[in-house]
Structure 1
Amino acid sequence: MSVGRAAPAAPYRCDPDQSRGRRFDEPPSRHRSAFRRDCDRVIHSTAFRRLKHKTQVFIFHEGDHYRTRLTHSLEVAQIARALARQLGLDEDLTETLALAHDLGHPPFGHAGERALDACLKDHGGFDHNAQSLRVVTSLERRYPAFDGLNLTWESLEGIVKHNGPLLGRDGRPLGRYAEQGLPVGITSYNGVHDLELGSYASLEAQVAAISDDIAYNAHDIDDGLRAGLFTIADLNAVPLVADINGRIASRFPGIDEARHGAELVRELISYWIESAFSEALRRIAARAPQSVADVRNADGPLVVFNPRAAAADKEIKEFLWGRMYRHERVMRVMTEAEGIVADLFDRYSRHPEDLPPDWAAHWGEDGEEEAVRRIGNFIAGMTDLYAMTEHQRLFDSTPELR
């Protein structure tokens, strides 16, 4: 089967007609599958709209052409649907997970996350993955019968476990959670609605996760070139990019830098999609899953890059780390952004009356822990613009973040 051609529905896909359902029973839609309904709920959520003014790498007002969390999520969804179609998976569930994966990100990207994590260090810390779960299960309040979006079990599982199991067979936390344990937002919800944290997620979730990597690398190269943080020639330090650049120069002699960069990004996206697709087919053939249960109980992920593409992915991430994410200009702005978040947290902690009325209502009735977490939830939901506006309202001086 060639890349781009839709595959027949695979037996190991998530079938919306066989969904494990929702935490709160609802009558099914007459016109939409359970997963399509989930996707529509994400798109219409307040948290999704806020992604428009949340930082990817550059603060939103640094330029109209840089990615935000919203445009990033849309690009992830486009790549993920393409892969899901080729693998015979459920496209609606895949799109849901692609669009929802960053709902928990605070303002100012990873800088905001670092600052909130430090502010909440004595109260379980802050984790954007756990916050995404919190958003869709409690913080969105649009329905009369329940808090959250009441997504299907499969969508919640994919949001939490798209990067793999959170617990080992011995019940101990894995990966980045090994030292400090699972975030409280995940453990508390899992206590009332078991998401089976020790198994792999569906292939739809795995596709969404690798699509995030593809989109992230490609558009950060694009944004870094646009910002002048590095050049096309600088990128030749990565062998895969050097090969692609050579082919582009050969096919289009005299091409200008902007068009060359755009072509490079297209070539990289196509390369990684093909790599993920071919490696997934190889692993699926080797393990022969006959159901989504087989996928969850597999001894490893089934959707990954082949070794050459994985090496290129690592090399590009290392390049971007040194030349973009740790660039003096980016670091200065992010340090100032961390200060804004820390200032807001401290101010609300000492003066909860400065919170909006609906957030300050019934303050402290549930104890200190809940009060502190409420401040974290409020700040995490802010856009970059709102955080800066609030800081200007409450403090005499606010950095311009430019």
Structure 2
Amino acid sequence: ALPISSLEAQIAGIADDIAYNSHDLDDGLSAGMFSLKDLEQVDWVAAIMHEKRKTWPNIDNYRLTQETIRDVMGVYVIDVLGETKKRLAALKPQTADDIRHAKQQTVAMSEDLRKKDRQLRDFLWAHFYRHHQVSRVRRKVFQCVQDLFAVFMEHRRCLPPEWQAQIENTPKGWKAKDWHARSVADYIASMTDRLALLEHKELFDTYQMMR
């Protein structure tokens, strides 16, 4: 099995997960793909909304949406910070490789939050991700990541110099090909969505050469 990704990549990955869940809730509600009433199917989110309505009986739907999403993000952030502290205390890493070769992710959700996250994701899959408009966008994103990974694996000289240097210095205990793949995955994971799309355009848009 491949070693685990770097601490930085783990943080970026889980931060993306939290941000995407929050943005997708907002986008789905704003686009009318599901309603606040529908969202009450997710027990723990329904509990947040119940508390908001209890605190502000006359709260309007816009404010309720924003307050709920903010608290959903808060649940994730507080849990991940707590769980990560526990895992760091147990692992006591001295080097970056200690993180990479750990038996489990260091930056992670607790078991309780993983169950809540699964429930929310199941809801989003049923009410948002399978919508035909969203499916088209997701397909483009998947293709973008697949293309970037493939080209960086085949043509490492397309990577920035510092990432080329990282790939060429395979750490002890790694196979060169596995380290190459791990480094490429970390590089792509470090990108924002906008940067990934710009990178893809730079590499695959042949008309760029003619401008």
TM-score, normalised to structure 1's length?
0.34
Q: Letter of the aligned partner of 2:44 in structure 1?
A: L
TM-aligned CA deviation for residue 212 of structure 1: 0.6
The answer to whether structure 1 residue 299 and structure 2 residue 103 are counterparts is yes
Q: Letter of the aligned partner of 1:322 in structure 2?
A: A
Corresponding position of 1:275:
79
Among candidates 212, 224, 238, match of residue 28 of structure 2: 224
Structure scoring higher RCO (CA < 8 A, sep ≥ 6) equals 2
The answer to whether structure 1 residue 239 and structure 2 residue 59 are counterparts is no
Q: Letter of the aligned partner of 2:81 in structure 1?
A: F
- CA distance in structure 2 between the partners assigned to 1:237 and 1:378 by the alignment: 38
Corresponding position of 2:123:
319
TM-aligned CA deviation for residue 278 of structure 1: 0.4
CA deviation string 1:217-250 (max 9, x = no partner): 0110001110011111111111110111111111
Corresponding position of 2:201:
381
Q: Letter of the aligned partner of 1:213 in structure 2?
A: D
> How many residue pairs get matched?
147
TM-aligned CA deviation for residue 291 of structure 1: 2.2
TM-aligned CA deviation for residue 315 of structure 1: 1.2
SS in 1 for 2:109: coil
- CA distance in structure 2 between the partners assigned to 1:379 and 1:266 by the alignment: 32
Corresponding position of 1:261:
65
Q: 1:329 to 1:301 in 2, by over 3 A?
A: closer
- CA distance in structure 1 between the partners assigned to 2:119 and 2:18 by the alignment: 13
Percentage of pairs with the same residue: 35
Consecutive aligned runs of 4 or more in structure 1 exceeding 4 Å deviation: 328-331, 377-380
Q: 1:296 to 1:224 in 2, by over 3 A?
A: same
- CA distance in structure 2 between the partners assigned to 1:204 and 1:217 by the alignment: 20
CA deviation string 1:28-69 (max 9, x = no partner): xxxxxxxxxxxxxxxxxxxxxxxxxxxxxxxxxxxxxxxxxx
SS in 2 for 1:233: helix
Q: 1:378 to 1:240 in 2, by over 3 A?
A: closer
Q: 1:378 to 1:267 in 2, by over 3 A?
A: closer
Q: 1:378 to 1:279 in 2, by over 3 A?
A: closer
Q: Letter of the aligned partner of 1:311 in structure 2?
A: K
TM-aligned CA deviation for residue 293 of structure 1: 2.0
Q: 1:291 to 1:378 in 2, by over 3 A?
A: closer
SS in 2 for 1:225: helix
SS in 2 for 1:289: coil
Q: 1:290 to 1:379 in 2, by over 3 A?
A: closer
Structure with the greater alpha carbon radius of gyration: 1
Matched ranges for 1:43-192 at <5 A: 168=1
- CA distance in structure 2 between the partners assigned to 1:228 and 1:309 by the alignment: 27
CA deviation string 1:71-118 (max 9, x = no partner): xxxxxxxxxxxxxxxxxxxxxxxxxxxxxxxxxxxxxxxxxxxxxxxx
SS in 1 for 2:36: coil
TM-aligned CA deviation for residue 378 of structure 1: 10
Q: Letter of the aligned partner of 1:294 in structure 2?
A: D
TM-aligned CA deviation for residue 380 of structure 1: 4.3
Structure 1 gaps of 5+ residues are 1-167, 169-197, 342-376, 387-402
- CA distance in structure 1 between the partners assigned to 2:133 and 2:89 by the alignment: 47
TM-score, normalised to structure 2's length?
0.63
TM-aligned CA deviation for residue 327 of structure 1: 2.4
SS in 2 for 1:246: helix
Corresponding position of 2:54:
250
- CA distance in structure 1 between the partners assigned to 2:51 and 2:16 by the alignment: 26
- CA distance in structure 1 between the partners assigned to 2:86 and 2:31 by the alignment: 39
Corresponding position of 2:91:
287
Q: 1:298 to 1:219 in 2, by over 3 A?
A: same
- CA distance in structure 2 between the partners assigned to 1:252 and 1:290 by the alignment: 49
